Amino acid sequence: MDSIIRLQGVSKSYWRDSFEIPVLNNISFDVPEGEFLALMGPSGSGKTTLLNLIAGIDRPDKGTLRVAGTDIATLNESKLAKWRSTHVGFIFQFYNLIPVLTAYENVELPLLLTSLSKQERRRHVETALTVVGLQDRMRHYPKQLSGGQEQRVAIARAITTDPTLLVADEPTGDLDKRSADEILTLLDRLNKEFKKTIVMVTHDPRAAEKAHVVRHLDKGEFSQN
Amino acid sequence: MKVFKLIFKNALRHKLRTALTVLGIAIAVMAFALLRTVVTAWYVGVEASAANRLITRQAVSFIFPLPYAYRDQITRIPGVERVTFANWFQGVYIDKNQFFARLAVDAETMFDIYPEFVVDPAELEAFKRERNSCIVGTGLAKQYGFKIGDVINIDGDIYPGKWAFVVRGIYKPRDKTTDPTQMLFHWQYVDERLRQEDPSRAGQVGWYIIRISDPAQSAAVSDQVDALFKNSRAETKTETERAFQQGFLAAAGTIIGSMNFMSFVIIGIIMLVVGNTMIMSARERTSEYAVFKTLGFSAGHMVGLILGESMFISVLGGGLGLALAIPFVAGFEAVVPKGWFPVFLIEPVTIVLAGSSAVLVGILASLFPIQRTLRTTIVDGLRHLG
């Protein structure tokens, strides 16, 4: 199977005042297309930084980073933004829905960057909300939804443009067990039924069980754990 | 859903804050419009000045008269087309609060030199024929209900006694810079009575108004007029009508200058109010803007969202302020003593200034939040807690 993600010798440090804090150290790995990968590790191990690099919202200091056929480390900001809108769907721990927009409008948001007509956008949004089981909550605002429902809207927003890759940062971290199970089941379905490649950062071993592959990070390097 | 809808929804996210900001802008725009209108009204005489008119007054002070005999001498100076004159009559109509200009003028020449006072030819002829008649402006006629044939009784103060003038004409101002509240009557009528009651004051005029053929020669003609009466009992000072009007305003120059300055300070205050709102809004939405960027919205989109919201608030406030300024200015005019500002209108330039200030404020107030949003990385933005 072809690799959809290929990292070679990727390193990343952050600066806090005059102190350099190394976060990732010479990371290399491949993720095949259709994979469901869980990244685990203690706080500060670098898993969210790695996810951000794969998603093109941060840049490596060193190394090459090829995602969906593009060396994203070489793209300028505007090209990278366009690339993200086409290839990546994001699922955040705290949903990050826009509170003044309805579920429908939140899901429609990424489609505003496309050349789709209003009718086509409507079809995409309704499909995405149907996939996550919220077709009857389209006109609800985020504050009118439960945490689990908000996260499902966020997943609908992530898949509405039919991206190549889904990245999820602690998608169940803010949910109760039942809601978390629903979200994990949904991610599993997106992977199996819709063939989406998923990279998920999690602390939750139960969430990691849904993944095909679990990789552990510790102090910026993959561990054998 | 369109971006405009998002801008609209963002702007109304904190309804009370937005309402207070819009109200603050509206009040500031109203105050700006009022101050500018007062300043404009003050300068209306200057603005209405004609380039081909000179004013000759007593060199020592405007309050001292000039001999009527100067008229013919001035008329003979090359470049002078026509000469008229006027006297400040003052007097009291009803009570001292009923203030408007009452001028004794030369009926034969006054309206030739002031074409901005438009009088029906028949009414003008009737006025010229009847010594104790007068012509009033439309503003005055409307204010006091004067009609042709009415008698206006004035108690004289500078020129003591009871004076009665029959309205024989009502002039219309040619444009909005022309004072519609003057009362003009025959200088000869006043002079005849002075000859009988106080002969030492007869044969004198307040000032001459000279129409010249070439405005470019105003300085030369002025010099010739003043040279003519040099070392006489009543030396003259001749200047353009504009300079004469400006001389009147010079005494109040500091106050007017302060009002002018304050009107622009108000713009600065609006800018701070809107800027503060926009900075608060942008700071609260740091993580949301990071989400937008994550989804692929470009720097241009972010500029549009923030600038659009800032413009929405400032233009809404500016529009509301301008709409309210019309009754506000009218209310102000109603409470100031009549005659203080014969022409008191919100000038188009004031509307343009206020409108463009609102737009400028919208742009400037968004600059800092835009810069901050663009400089904040997605990673830092997502970490931000609003």
Instruction: Select the residue of A82, A92, A100 nearest B296 (Cβ to Cβ).
Output: A82
Inter-chain residue contact A92 with B382, CB threshold 8 Å: yes
Instruction: Please provide residue B344's backbone torsions phi and psi, each rounded to the nearest 5 degrees.
Output: -135, 85
As for the ipTM of the complex, it is 0.92
Instruction: Select the residue of B9, B12, B296 nearest A85 (Cβ to Cβ).
Output: B296
Report the number of secondary-structure helices (H) and strands (E) in chain B: 15, 12
Provide the pLDDT for residue B256.
Answer: 79
> Considering only alpha carbons, which residue of chain A is nearest residue B301?
A113
Inter-chain residue contact A55 with B377, CB threshold 8 Å: no
Could you count the other beta carbons within 10 Å of the beta carbon of residue A164?
Answer: 18
Size of the A and B interface in Cβ pairs below 8 Å: 62
Angle CA A174–A179–A183, to nearest 5: 90
Query: Do residues B112 and B118 touch, judged by C-beta distance below 8 A?
Result: no
Domain boundaries, chain A: 3-223
Q: Which residue has the tokens 């998002």?
A: B6
**What is the four-CA torsion angle of A107, A113, A115, A116, rounded to 10 degrees?**
0
Q: Strand pairing of A213-218 and A221-223?
A: antiparallel
> Considering only alpha carbons, which residue of chain A is nearest residue B12?
A100
Q: Strand pairing of A165-169 and A197-201?
A: parallel
Query: CA–CA distance from B213 to each of A146, A175, B223 (Å)?
Result: 86, 91, 16
First to last CA, chain B: 25
Angle CA B172–B177–B182, to nearest 5: 50
Q: Give the H or E element holding residue A200.
A: strand A197-201
> Considering only alpha carbons, which residue of chain A is nearest residue B383?
A94
Provide the pLDDT for residue B62.
Answer: 83
**What is the four-CA torsion angle of A101, A105, A108, A109, rounded to 10 degrees?**
-20
Point out the residues of chain B with pLDDT beneath 70.
1, 45-46, 48, 251, 337-340, 342, 385-386
Amino acid present at B58: Q
Say if B281 is an interface residue toward chain A (CB within 8 Å): no
Query: CA–CA distance from A181 to each of A152, A184, B140, B145 (Å)?
Result: 12, 5, 84, 86
Distance CA B374, CA B305 (A): 12
Instruction: Residue count of chain A, please give it.
Output: 225
For each of chain A's 225 residues, which pLDDT tens digit applies? Answer: 578 999 999 999 988 888 888 999 999 999 999 999 999 999 889 999 999 999 999 999 999 999 998 999 899 989 999 999 999 999 998 899 999 999 999 999 999 999 999 999 999 999 999 999 999 999 999 999 999 999 999 999 999 999 989 999 999 988 888 899 999 999 999 999 999 999 999 988 888 998 999 999 998 898 865
Give every strand in the sheet of A19-32, ordered side by side: A19-32, A3-16, A62-67, A70-71
Distance CA A181, CA A179 (A): 5
Instruction: Select the residue of A85, A96, A112 nearest B291 (Cβ to Cβ).
Output: A96
Substitution target from A109, A111, A117, A121 for chain B, most B beta carbons within 10 A? A109
- Write the burial class of residue A169 (CB in 10 Å: 0-12 exposed, 13-18 middle, 19+ buried): buried
Instruction: Select the residue of A77, A92, A108 nearest B1 (Cβ to Cβ).
Output: A108
- Choose which CATH entry (3.90.1150.10, 3.40.50.300, 3.30.413.10, 3.40.50.720) describes domain A3-223: 3.40.50.300
Instruction: Select the residue of A104, A108, A113 nearest B296 (Cβ to Cβ).
Output: A113
Provide the pLDDT for residue A59.
Answer: 92
Closest CA to A89 of A191, A213, A204: A191
Query: Do residues A204 and A215 touch, judged by C-beta distance below 8 A?
Result: no
Provide the pLDDT for residue B249.
Answer: 72
- Give B-chain residues touching A104 at CB under 8 angstroms: 1
Distance CA A77, CA A63 (A): 18
Which residues, 6+ apart, have CB-to-CB distance to A59 below 8 Å? A53, A73
Which residues, 6+ apart, have CB-to-CB distance to B144 below 8 Å? none
Provide the pLDDT for residue A140.
Answer: 96
> Considering only alpha carbons, which residue of chain B is nearest residue A49?
B379
- The whole-angstrom distance between residue A8's C-alpha and the CA centroid of its chain comes to 21
Closest CA to B51 of B213, B227, B226: B213
Closest CA to A217 of A32, A5, A13, A50: A50
